Amino acid sequence: MPPQPQTPLAIDQALALLQWQIEMGADEAIGPAALDRLAPGLPAAAEPAPNVARPMPPPRPSFAAAASATAPPRALTESAAEPAQSARALAAQATTTDALAALIAGFDACPLKRTATNTVFADGNPAAPVMIIGEAPGADEDRIGTPFVGRAGQLLDRMLAAIGLDRTGVQITNVIYWRPPGNRKPTTQEIASCLPFVFRHIVLSRPLVLVLAGGTAASSLLDVSEGITRLRGRWFDLAIPGLDAPLPALPMFHPAYLLRTPERKREAWRDLLALKMKLEELG
């Protein structure tokens, strides 16, 4: 019997399931097809095919290991789309973080602004040695106009306190300044239209360390294809346009992900310790 074509409802359900898996941290495929692990008679682990050479994967660096210097993805930083071009021209005009915040508030080329309540720029100390960059505002952030003020933000505050930091010692922002409808993931075009402001923000603030909270922030600022589960805990030397030297950048799990997956908090704690050690090294 030939396979039946999928209905629009089935496709929507599959997409919803895929989105849920991504939100739960399953952002990398480990096989060509999904396994029904509840099916009777399924072996605990598939045996490799006999007489087939299987190359060993390279060892994963430890959480404190530094990676080679990298630059932001060119597809985002050099986007030819009109919103991205407009953002680059505006961002170059800012000479202070306050001026940058005003320019972002008046920027209308990102369609997300039309559905958002507030522009959410930054919180914390503009002169802090640590800049934390997340994904996008949520409902609480959109309502109040400040990043990381909901449950995820409260967890972030507790995480920072565990290594002796608070919002006077960090600056917090996102790669997107307006809440995507329904808290969906930002599109590549939306990210490209905001990144020039993010880069200018980094240049004006000149932090010692960047913390990239979550897969969207990491993939937007690092020219790498790996998911956050493989990136977290590894130091990258990130070249920022406008800075003379690369900045140390540490990808970490987003606090919202840790709320949904508390068993990963042990890894997040190791990453926090790596951040503390880096700050001590930089003095």
Residue 101: what pLDDT? Answer: 98
DSSP for 146-170, written as a single string = -SS-SHHHHHHHHHHHHTT--TTSE
Residue 22: what pLDDT? Answer: 60
Domain ranges, ordered by start, for the chain: 74-282
Cα distance between residue 20 and residue 17, in whole Å: 5
Residue 283: what pLDDT? Answer: 80
**Identity of the residue numbered 277:** M
Total H helices, total E strands in the chain: 11, 6
- Three-class SS state of 209: strand
Say what the pTM is. 0.76
Residue 72: what pLDDT? Answer: 82
DSSP for 75-116, written as a single string = HHHT--SHHHHHHHHHHTT--SHHHHHHHHHT---SGGGGT-
Cβ proximity of 267 and 159 under 8 Å:
no
- pLDDT digit string (tens) for 77-97? 778 789 999 999 999 999 999
| Residue 59: C-alpha distances to residues 53, 63, 65, 146 (Å) | 18, 12, 12, 40
- Looking at the DSSP assignment, which residues form a beta bridge with residue 212? 133, 251
Q: Are β-strands 247-252 and 209-213 bridged in parallel, bridged antiparallel, or unpaired?
A: parallel
Q: Does domain 74-282 have CATH number 3.40.47.10?
A: no
Residue 59: what pLDDT? Answer: 44
- Closest-CA residue to 276 (of 214, 209, 231, 221): 209
Residue 68: what pLDDT? Answer: 53
Regions of the chain where pLDDT drops below 50: 42, 44-49, 51-52, 54, 57-67
Q: How far is C-alpha 2 from the chain's CA centre?
A: 42
Q: Show Cβ contacts of residue 46 under 8 Å, excluding neighbours closer than 6 positions.
A: none
Residue 74: what pLDDT? Answer: 78
Cα distance between residue 59 and residue 46, in whole Å: 22
